[in-house]
Amino acid sequence: MLGALVLWVGAGCSRRVPEGTPAEQAVADAPTVYVAKRIRTLDAAKPEAQALAVRDGKVLAVGTREEVLAAAGPTSRVVELGDATVVPGLTDSHGHLAGLGQALAGVRLEGTASLEEVRQRLEKAPATAYQGDWLVGQGWDQNDWDTPRFPTLFDMGEHLKDTPVALWRIDGHALWLNGAALKRANITRDTKDPQGGTIQRLPEGDPSGVLIDNAMDLALKVLPPPTQEQHEARMRSALEHCARVGLTGVHDAGMDLRTFRLFQAWDKAGTLPLRVYAMADGQTDDRVQYLKDGPFQGKLLTMRAVKLTLDGALGSRGAALGAAYSDEPGHRGLLLLSPEEYASRVHAFIGRGFQVATHAIGDRANTLLLDTLSRELSATGTKAARPRVEHAQIMTAEDITRLGANGFVASVQPTHATSDMPWAEKRVGPERIQNAYAWQKLKAAGAVLALGSDFPVERPDVLAGLYAARTRQDASGQPPGGWHPDQRLSGEEALEGFTVGAAYASFAEDKRGRLKPGQDADFVALSVDPVDAPPADLLTAQVRLTVVAGRAVFRADAK
């Protein structure tokens, strides 16, 4: 009888058994045992272990090395993970895979410190950044520039004057165009602001080149879509990137129908590498087909939710506030759907069996969300609907209490707080900021926290999210003690947000989020313990192994 087959998966070393050898054939259907310095199961009955066995995509056993080897049997394969810490599969509860694919292919403007730096990056644009003859990119943030103002069509440089250029702001709620793009979209001084959108204008009334929220549609309707080849390459790149940073799953917040059809094909063919909990795009005309088709369950692909967007973003002053912005008197942001239209879409999708996930950043939007969903669920008697508040960023104390008491899920993004903290209080003032990015207050109210990044607004690097959740500091450790430190999460609370909370938010708590027998074999091996290690260690930590349904989708030492 064969003994256990041993593989090493560590920093820089591995040994594979050649496929097709007798040993390979003998263990093909046998369990695999993973041994590590520590396995954090998040299972209260057995919170820590040294080994786990996997068979047929499920966790077979968890415990000491001896216990697990005995349970797995003598033909099991053993993977030695050395000094790694294994945690349940990490899920980003709010990301945009199509946006990430576009960001990886286009001109990347994150971290630019000036308009001159933006122009330099545009001059070096890769060929992948073109859609038709349009140049696309994203990631600019005027708050980071040496002149913190919205850009204009005159700021891109002369060399692009004949090339239409479209550049998304980092939050995806503003689009910067040059003169050629404005001309293609036929946006002139006579073009009216659409409902829920703003065309920024120069002093004489001509469009400045920046479109906010629903006004972006004026340009997007004439922007050539990526070819099918481009689209597939971008989606593969996005999924591979997510696996590389340690994600076993993504909740895609507003998936377009084209991407969903592609993912359905990949899921059927067995080539989708990660679990994807897709939220139907309920904002565009795609919603008609989604309502017709209803929810979907595949192997790794699920569509059970719909994403609706009520307001804009705080950075572009599109978030809908109850009172005026502290740094722009008289302006209260934008509602992207009227209260009546929002209620209509909520009613239609709940009636079709969808979970409703709503983007709400400003306190006015959050109040409207809670009012509408509470009324709808009460009227229809819908049980266990688990409505999700995506971002839950600026809230009143009363609404924080309502969110928790009424069973809503708070889908929040730790790195939003650390990115926004230099300027967020300027937008809303010292009083409203007390209930902003208020994770511990949400938990105390009874809300389940599902943590994510909102990539590509932020990086999908989940270790950075764990760091931000624990510290509320930037990468240099500022501010000392953290921004509003009473709202920091403990190491275990942060880990739970990317595992247990994410599973609950997608109705999968009986399948995922913990490592115990019978649950899906989704897990990640890290070079540090995300709970006990000093938080700063997370910034330099490595993902060594990402496993989805028992299959390794990323190995740090793979050639």
Give the pLDDT confidence of 407-454 residue by residue, as tens digits. 999 999 999 999 999 999 999 999 999 999 999 999 999 999 999 999
- Find where tokens 């496929």 sit: 19
pLDDT at 380: 82
C-beta of residue 465 within 8 angstroms of C-beta of residue 246 = no
pLDDT at 29: 73
352 and 278 in a common domain: yes
Beta-strand pair 5-10/77-80? parallel
In a domain, 214, yes or no: yes
DSSP 432: H
How would residue 332 be classed by pLDDT, with cut points 50, 70 and 90?
very high
Domain ends where: 201, 221, 241?
221
Give the dihedral sign, CA 28/29/34/40: positive
Whats the size of the chain, residue-wise? 559
In a domain, 17, yes or no: no
What's the DSSP call for residue 455? Answer: T
Mean pLDDT value across the chain? 93
Alpha-carbon gap, residue 340 to 346, rounded angstroms: 10
Whether the predicted pLDDT of 476 surpasses 80: yes
Structure token pair of residue 424? 């967020």
Q: How far apart are CA 400 and CA 410, in angstroms?
A: 10
Angle, in degrees to the nearest 10, between helices 286-293 and 339-351: 30
Phi, psi dihedral angles at 254 (to 5 degrees): 105, 65
pTM: 0.90
Question: In terms of domains, do 191 and 239 share one?
Answer: no
Alpha-carbon distance of 347 to 358, in angstroms, equals: 13
Instruction: pLDDT band for 20, please (50, 70, 90 cuts).
Output: very low
In the three-class reduction of DSSP (H, G, I as helix; E, B as strand; rest coil), residue 99 is classed as helix
DSSP per-residue letters across 369-413: HHHHHHHHHHHHT--S---EEEE--B--HHHHHHHHHTT-EEEE-
User: 157: which residues sit within 8 A by CB, 6+ positions away?
Assistant: 119, 122, 123
Torsion of CA 458, 464, 469, 470, to 10 degrees: -160
% pLDDT > 90, the chain:
89
Q: Do 478 and 338 fall within a single domain? A: yes
Q: With a cut of 70, say whether residue 374 has pLDDT above it.
A: yes
The predicted structure's pLDDT at residue 28:
53
The DSSP letter of residue 72 is H
Q: What is the pLDDT of residue 9?
A: 47
| Better pLDDT: 22 or 175 | 175
Query: Do 174 and 271 fall into the same domain?
Result: no
CATH label of the domain that carries residue 353: 3.20.20.140
Q: Cis omega before residue 151 (within 30°)?
A: no
> Where a domain ends, among 193, 221, 249?
221
At residue 546 the predicted structure's pLDDT band, cuts being 50, 70 and 90, is: very high
For residue 3, is pLDDT > 60? no
Would you say residue 116 lies in a domain? no
Query: Same structural domain for residues 184 and 245?
Result: no
Confidence of residue 15 (pLDDT cuts 50, 70, 90): very low
Residue 304 sits at the vertex; the CA angle it makes with 268 and 445, to the nearest 5 degrees, is: 140
Do strands 58-63 and 5-10 pair parallel, antiparallel, or not at all (unpaired)? unpaired
Identify any residues that bridge with 305 across adjacent strands, giving them in sequence order. 279, 355
Q: Return the amino acid letter for 281.
A: D
Residue 513, pLDDT > 60, answer yes
Neighbours of 7 (CB within 10 A): 16
Confidence at residue 384, expressed as pLDDT on a 0 to 100 scale: 66
With helix as H, strand as E and coil as C, how does 491-512 read? HHHHHHHCCHHHHHHCCCCCCC
Burial class of residue 173 (count of CB atoms within 10 Å of its CB; 0-12, 13-18, 19+):
buried
Q: What percent of the chain has pLDDT over 70?
A: 94
408's tokens: 């809503």
Q: Are residues 401 and 491 in the same domain?
A: yes
Residue 276 and residue 305 in one domain: yes
Q: Residue 167: beta bridge partners?
A: 137, 176
In whole angstroms, give the CA distance from residue 392 to residue 443. 12
Whether residues 208 and 236 share a domain: the answer is no
pLDDT over 60 at 400, yes or no = yes
- Residue 163: count of CB within 10 angstroms of its CB: 16
**Higher local confidence (pLDDT), 156 or 449:** 449
Lowest mean pLDDT segment, chosen from 239-248, 304-313, 550-559? 550-559
Report yes or no on 122 lying in a domain: no
Of 246, 293, 301, 245, the C-alpha closest to 270 is: 301
Q: How far is CA 155 from CA 117, 294, 458, in A?
A: 11, 45, 24
Report which of 90, 131, 129, 84 is spatially closest to residue 109, judged by C-alpha positions: 129
Rg of the chain taking only CA atoms, in angstroms? 24
At residue 11, the pLDDT reads 40
pLDDT digits (tens, 9 = 90+) for 160-171: 889 999 999 988
Task: Report if residue 7 sits inside a domain.
Answer: no
Choose one of 41, 66, 83: the last residue of a domain: 83
For residue 10, name the pLDDT band (cuts at 50, 70, 90).
very low
Tens digits of residue pLDDT in 282-308: 999 999 999 999 999 999 999 999 999
Residues 179 and 320 in one domain: no
Residue 465 within a domain: yes
CA 89 to chain centre: 15
Structural domain count of the chain: 3
First to last CA, the chain: 32
What is d(CA 405, CA 447) in angstroms, rounded to the nearest whole number? 7
Q: pLDDT, tens digit, for every residue of 307-324?
A: 999 999 999 999 999 999
Residue 72, domain CATH:
2.30.40.10
* Per-residue pLDDT at 171: 85
The answer, yes or no, to whether residue 557 has pLDDT greater than 90, is no
Count other Cβ atoms within 10 Å, centred on residue 475. Answer: 12
**238 and 197 inside one domain:** no
Confidence of residue 225 (pLDDT cuts 50, 70, 90): very high
For residues 193 and 270, membership in a common domain is answered with: no
CA 33 and chain centroid, separation:
31
12 inside domain: no
Confidence class for position 21, pLDDT limits 50, 70, 90: very low
- What b/e readout covers 366-392, taking b as 16+ CB neighbours within 10 angstroms? bbbbbebbeebbeeeeeeebbbbbbbb
pLDDT-derived band at 149, boundaries 50, 70, 90: very high
Beta bridge partner(s), residue 11: none
Structural domain containing residue 40 = 24-83
Domain assignment present for residue 451? The answer is yes
**Residue 201 in this model has a pLDDT that exceeds 90:** yes
Q: What is the pLDDT of residue 383?
A: 62
d(CA 520, CA 550): 8
Does residue 7 carry a pLDDT above 90?
no
Tell me which residue of 236, 204, 235, 200 sits closest to 218, measured CA to CA: 200
Closest-CA residue to 260 (of 221, 227, 304): 304
Q: Where are the alpha helices (DSSP H) in 408-478?
A: 414-420, 424-432, 439-444, 462-471
User: Within this chain, do residues 343 and 398 fall inside the same structural domain, yes or no?
Assistant: yes
Write the CATH number for 179.
3.10.310.70
CA distances from 131 to 9, 254, 467 (A): 41, 21, 36
- Cα–chain-centroid distance for residue 546? 17
- Whether residue 231 is predicted with pLDDT greater than 80 in this model: the reply is yes
293 vs 382, more confident: 293
Q: Any residues with CB less than 8 A from the CB of 551 and at least 6 apart, and which?
A: 57
